Amino acid sequence: QFQEQVKNEFYQQVGVTLTVKGDLSNIFRWIHSAQSPSDFRVVPYLKITPDKDDAAKVVCAVQFWRWYQPTAT
């Protein structure tokens, strides 16, 4: 689900919330590879719950934000 875009004079923020299911270590590797403060990509929200159908897996809701320089108007 896409987040509502945020704009002000300093930055433009876009974001997405994803729900993923899998092995916890694989999910953490994926999140770590996507997060990049130097590229202004952050994870401000992460919720982890056990999978009801498979005790070896988890369900994660993760939100990614990306900040951009505002466009000139």
In order along its 73 residues, the chain shows pLDDT tens digits of 888 888 888 889 999 999 999 999 999 999 999 888 788 899 999 999 999 999 999 999 999 999 998 876 6
SS3 30: helix
Please tell me the pTM assigned to this model.
0.79
Read off the DSSP letter of residue 36.
Answer: B
Residue 59 contacts residue 51 (beta carbons within 8 Å): yes
Return phi, psi of residue 32, to 5°: -60, -40
Read off the DSSP letter of residue 46.
Answer: E
Closest CA to 43 of 67, 70, 25: 67
